[in-house]
Structure 1
């Protein structure tokens, strides 16, 4: 251990108290502010498109407040796409620790854990 502190170690993130709070749109276009989506473009994403939906969920979970999560995320979509979302390991672990319906389902966290078992 080098004692080095990384951004990953200090970057704050939010987790809602309940997935039932996530009542965002399940279809249509959402417009994410630049504080949530830093990508070039106008911040508009079609949640009917699998790739754009994934981008929205990764941005909002990784960068958003609980209020943002309530506004943009939908519980049913989240639980459906959770296995393939690529998020920081600490974020994924926090969400899986809070919500049993997500626990053990994210393939990226599972892969990391399986490679780091002593």
Structure 2
């Protein structure tokens, strides 16, 4: 059964739909989706990711739609939460470069709660994220 996502739901303007495969790809392509109808954005090189790992940051409104967008990365659970948010909501590579840190992403990867399309896109591009911890 195919899922359908409206990409232009503006009032007064006709919307258009993109058929989605149930596994989270835009139908007819091999492009994993972050959300229905929107492809996942993946950094070309994890070394390009040099974002913060401690302290208080303020996410842009485009990534986090709350009036107070400050995130204290030193509070338990907030760093993984920010990574999940950025990985899911980013639409440009510069957003990934600004907010994610490569070694931290690798360390947190297995514990992050991500849409299937996002996880698949990142693991296709970065083999090291696919490695399972056999000792666990």
**Count of residue pairs the alignment pairs up:** 103
Mapped pair 1:101 → 2:128? yes
Counterpart contact for 1:57–1:78, Cα < 8 Å = yes
Q: Which has the larger radius of gyration?
A: 2
- The alpha-carbon deviation at position 41 of structure 1 amounts to 4.6
Mapped pair 1:49 → 2:48? no
Q: Give the alignment's TM-score, normalised by structure 2.
A: 0.68
Structure 1 or 2: more helix by fraction = 1
Structure 1 or 2: more strand by fraction = 2
Instruction: Tell me how far apart the structure 2 counterparts of residues 79 and 90 of structure 1 sit (CA, whole Å).
Output: 18
- The alpha-carbon deviation at position 46 of structure 1 amounts to 1.6
Mapped pair 1:27 → 2:54? yes
Q: Give the alignment's TM-score, normalised by structure 1.
A: 0.77
- The 3 A distance-change label for structure 1 pair 96 and 50 is farther
Which digits, 9 at most, give the CA deviation of each residue in 1:57-105, with x for residues without a partner? 0111111121011011111111111111111101100001110110155
Counterpart contact for 2:53–2:79, Cα < 8 Å = no
Counterpart contact for 2:40–2:117, Cα < 8 Å = no
